Each structure stands twice: as C-alpha cells, then as structure tokens.
Amino acid sequence: MKSLILILLLFAALTGCKSVKRDDYVQATLLSEKNLISATEFKFYLDTQLPIDIRGNYSHNRSIEGANMLYQGPPAAALAQLFTHAAIASSLKEEKLRAQQDEANEAILPLRNLANSIQLNSIVANNAFYSSEPNPNDKKQVNVKPIFFSDSTMTNLSLKLVAWIDFPKSKKAKKTTKAKKTKLYQNIIEVHAKPLTEKERDLLLADSSNLTLHLQKLFNSAVKSVQRDVSGEYSSPVAQQTLHILEGKKKEFVRGEVLEKSCESVVVKNLRNWIIHYPSAKVTNLNQNCS
C-alpha cells in the first residue's frame, strides 16, 4: 500500500512540473505515407479576419522562488499538500510568463501599433495555395496560424507558423482521436529574417507597406516549407549535424538535419521535427561558397 501511495505522489509531482501551455509550441505529428499531400493538391486555410499577431521575444524563464516544499503528515495529507502546491506553482509560472510577455510587447510597441494597421489578407497576398473557405473534413487542407516575433531592438524579426490538419469529423475518426491523437498533422515552421540595420529598421517603422512586404516574405517562406513537409519532401533521412547559430554576440548550437541551403538561408529540421529557416550569415560552420 505504501508503495502505491509513493507512486501516486511521484505521479502528482511530475504532473505539477508539466510545462505551461503555449500557443507557439506543438509536438510535431507528421503525416503517414498514405496521407501525404502532393504539391499540386496542397492548400492552406487562414482566418484573415484575425489581427496580425506580433509579439516581443523573451527568455521564457518560468522558474519561481520558493518552489521547494516539505510535505508533512500521513501519505494522504502529503498527497493533498502536493496537489495544492503543484496547482499554485503552475499558476505562478503562468503569471510570470504573462508578465514577461507583456514587458517584451511593451518594448516593441511602435512595431505592434504599425502592425495593427495591416490586414492579414495583405500578408496572404494572392498566395496560390490559399483557400478562403475552411473545410475540416478535407485531409488535404492545412490550417495555419502565423505568430510573428521581434527582439527589443526591432531589428530581428521572425515567424512561427503553426500548421495542422484536423481529423475528419466522422465516428471512426472520433474514436481514433480519443484513443491516440487529436491531429492528423501538426508542426511548427520557424523563419528568421536577416537582421535589419538601424536605417532599415527606421524605414520599416515609417511605412506599413514596408512592414507588410517584410512579413509577407516570412509567411510565404514558411508556407513553402509546410508544402514540402506534408508532401514528404522533408522525410528522407539526412545525417544530423550540430549547427553554430550566431545570435548577436552569442553562439547557439542547434542539432538537426540540413534540408536546404543557399546563400540566403539554411533550412533545418531540429530534434523536435520543427522546420527552421536561418539566414545563412548566422550559420557560422557551414561552407556556403558565397561571394
């Protein structure tokens, strides 16, 4: 009996340590071979009535002080204390993340205000793959949600495109969904723009049409990668390598497969199966032979 209680305590502790849910994070679910979508059949849906979502980058530090707690009393009482503590800790973490996001958004207020004057349909801008009508029963229609990001200097812009295909709404699909997973396909396509100079940043903030073109380029690059992902073009195994990514004066290390490379960008599938575009100039350990 004591062993069972200890197991329950451990399970509860693990539950309390779960990550705070974020809308810019998904666990990749790739299409099976039988469900792959050919390049000619591919189409995506985006609700263009929504406002452009552009957020400030922040560290996602969700650690909280005083998180450790000594549980006292018999097992049942300790279990109750643990559940209460886990709920409080989770709430505090969410609160901290919200505060960090609010602060980061405040730092890019001129950019966010300018983005408010732009319609999402101008970002889609006659993309040949765009479908204006949602069809949840169409297994070949990919839903997308663009979330744009900027650092506090407003010189480094990026996009996280959340892409997914729902299971068709049938009795069989509902049973499958409950038993296994909720999406037929889901992934993140992340595109980092080439850093702007201060002069380019000022020009971007001076005219909404410049910002529209910049966001449009990020969006179209991401959609192209979604098309390649769901067609199976990215599914062939490639030897993994560690890439050195220059972020300001710091260097980050990303492990993954190099899917595409050019003098403009390097496209990588990371260990989460996310597809990430980096400007070639930021990847310091790949020989691009670019003059």
User: DSSP of 102-138, one letter per residue?
Assistant: HHHHHHTHHHHHHHTTSBHHHHHTT-TTEESS--TT-
pLDDT recorded at residue 126: 82
Q: Is the CB of residue 161 less than 8 Å from the CB of residue 144?
A: yes
Distance between CA 44 and CA 104 in Å, rounded?
Answer: 30
Task: Say whether pLDDT at 221 is over 70.
Answer: yes
Give domain limits for the chain: 26-58+109-188+195-223, 236-291
**Tens digits of residue pLDDT in 180-190:** 578 999 999 99
Q: Is the CB of residue 85 less than 8 Å from the CB of residue 69?
A: yes
pLDDT recorded at residue 95: 82
Distance between CA 29 and CA 177 in Å, rounded?
Answer: 13
Distance between CA 22 and CA 46 in Å, rounded?
Answer: 20
**Tens digits of residue pLDDT in 3-61:** 555 554 445 455 555 555 689 999 999 999 999 999 999 999 999 999 999 999 987 65
Q: Which of 78-87, 129-138, 241-250 has the lowest mean pLDDT?
A: 78-87
Scored b (16 or more CB within 10 A) or e, 75-93 reads eeebbeebeebbeebbeeb
pLDDT recorded at residue 143: 97
Tokens found for residue 251: 């260097």
Confidence of residue 177 (pLDDT cuts 50, 70, 90): very low
Confidence of residue 199 (pLDDT cuts 50, 70, 90): very high
- The structure's pTM equals 0.81
Please identify, in words, the CATH class of the domain defined by 236-291.
Answer: mainly beta
Distance between CA 246 and CA 96 in Å, rounded?
Answer: 28
Task: Say whether pLDDT at 91 is over 80.
Answer: no
